[in-house]
Amino acid sequence: MPAEPHEQPALHLLAAAPSETELRATIAKLVGFGTRHTLSDTRSDTRGIGAARRWVKARFEAISRDCGGCLEVITPSQTFTGKRMPHPAEVMDVVAIKRGSADPQRVIAITGHLDSRVSDVMNASSDAPGANDDASGVAVLIEAARLLSKQDNRATLVFAALSGEEQGLYGGKLLADYAVAHGWQVEAELNNDIVGNSRGQNGVRDNTAVRVFSEGTRSNETLQQADYRRYHGGEVDSPSRNLARSMAGLADQYLPDFRVRMVYRTDRYGRGGDQVPFLEAGYPAVRVTEAQEDYTRQHQDLRTEHGVRYGDTIDGIDFRYLARVTALDAITTATLGRAPAPPSAMDIHGALATDTALDWHKAPGAAGYRVHWRDTTAPQWQHAQATGDVDRYVLKDVVIDDWFFGVSSVSSDGYESPVVFPGDAGSFERSPPAATQR
């Protein structure tokens, strides 16, 4: 019997595990530091970004003590200058690492940003609670670290509270640089930014969906690769996009009453997040954001104007909703961490033939593979066939012209990698070799 993905009771348990009490405690603590502006006080124990960083570090260390020292906690830092950082300033991330047992260089990361702001992005002293933007994302990654730390994974899991987001995505850049310098093969970065509110500014409520934004074509695609992709397809099949498809499939399977709403964009219109420096470094990454946003609660001085209360306070958080988002991050990370890497060097052949042939390089630890295909206008993979432990497969009577194709890896215990689309357009490898164009 070829290896096939199967229902994982462990993922059902994990999906129900996130604690609203834990999430609330984290956000209350972070809001309590007054402001977490990147340029705020770093020496006080009670106020500012320094106190907040030290608290997150202590929290990771406590989680690590509970799992026999399973987490390494590091605080990489760099000094940046920029438009929103007129004087050189140190940006520091707080990162917990759970090393993988089989592929320690392969990394699945969950990020959120610790820093907060008010209306004036340079105001480093006024109260900036940042409960939703982005203490909610930090609460998700700390809760995910707590839930996932005790389990064994093939790949390395990284939980990172970033700083400097509001000043120019510096914390994401810093961690992406760290990943490159340490030879990490980042297979997925899930950037959770503004994930705790379920009521839109116009009163629309949606606690049943979360948006996952993914780029369509790779940020670091060469002109030659773009030419090939424009002709043969792949404009909606970057590795980030296929990561989003995996998340949507897992939500359908394991999260009752909750779904992923895939958005075919890198981020919200005209706005950015810490997944962008990862994409620029050539790593697959997505942005996770609530379905409905309330802009009176984002980047605002705390005030009341014409009867409207402005500011990002904790009473705007829907903790039940936040727990569902945490569940999505946790089951995604657990699945990717336990699955093998997607196959590499995936290629297809079949011009002027009625069959389609696919080949790939095997992934370490894979017990088998699945070939997937879908209509060229379909958002999600529609058909799949298990192939066994092979590196080549022929789909009889499936014409190459009419479908998009992909392959995933499956572990002996039934965990499946994301689907990889052929060629450089779809590769999960950081710097794909020059296109083998034909």
Question: Which positions touch Zn ion (CB under 5 A)?
Answer: 133-134, 193
Compare residues 134 and 429 and give the one whose CB is closer to Zn ion: 134
Smallest gap from Cβ 152 to Zn ion, in A, equals 33
Compare residues 190 and 400 and give the one whose CB is closer to Zn ion: 190
Compare residues 212 and 348 and give the one whose CB is closer to Zn ion: 212
Compare residues 136 and 417 and give the one whose CB is closer to Zn ion: 136
CA gap 14, 110 in Å, rounded: 16
Residue 372 burial (CB count, 10 A)? 23
Specify the DSSP class assigned to residue 402: G
Compare residues 193 and 429 and give the one whose CB is closer to Zn ion: 193
Report the half-sphere exposure of 10 (CA within 13 A, side-chain side): 16
Smallest gap from Cβ 319 to Zn ion, in A, equals 19
Smallest gap from Cβ 165 to Zn ion, in A, equals 6
Smallest gap from Cβ 98 to Zn ion, in A, equals 25
For residue 32 the two structure tokens come to: 């309590």
CA gap 59, 26 in Å, rounded: 9
Compare residues 36 and 241 and give the one whose CB is closer to Zn ion: 36
CA gap 342, 183 in Å, rounded: 18
> What is the distance, to the nearest Å, from the Cα of residue 87 to the centroid of all Cα atoms in its chain?
31
Compare residues 236 and 325 and give the one whose CB is closer to Zn ion: 325
CA gap 375, 361 in Å, rounded: 25
For residue 430 the two structure tokens come to: 């950081």
At 394 the three-state DSSP class reads strand
| Phi/psi of residue 103, nearest 5 degrees | -120, 75
For residue 49 the two structure tokens come to: 């970004």
Compare residues 134 and 189 and give the one whose CB is closer to Zn ion: 134
Smallest gap from Cβ 271 to Zn ion, in A, equals 9
Smallest gap from Cβ 170 to Zn ion, in A, equals 13
Compare residues 126 and 344 and give the one whose CB is closer to Zn ion: 126
Beta-bridged to residue 85, according to DSSP, are: 82
* Amino acid in the structure at residue 266: T
Residue identified by tokens 């106020």 is 47
Specify the DSSP class assigned to residue 198: -
Alpha-carbon dihedral angle through residues 232, 433, 369, 382, given to the nearest 10 degrees: -30
Smallest gap from Cβ 134 to Zn ion, in A, equals 4
Name which of 373, 376, 364, 438 is nearest 406 in CA terms.
373
Smallest gap from Cβ 322 to Zn ion, in A, equals 15
Sign of the C-alpha dihedral, residues 344, 350, 351, 354? negative
Smallest gap from Cβ 194 to Zn ion, in A, equals 6
At 179, which helix (H) or strand (E)? helix 170-181
Residue identified by tokens 């839109």 is 200
CA gap 206, 127 in Å, rounded: 29
Smallest gap from Cβ 331 to Zn ion, in A, equals 23
Beta strands in 362-417 (DSSP E): 368-375, 383-388, 392-395, 403-410
Compare residues 133 and 416 and give the one whose CB is closer to Zn ion: 133
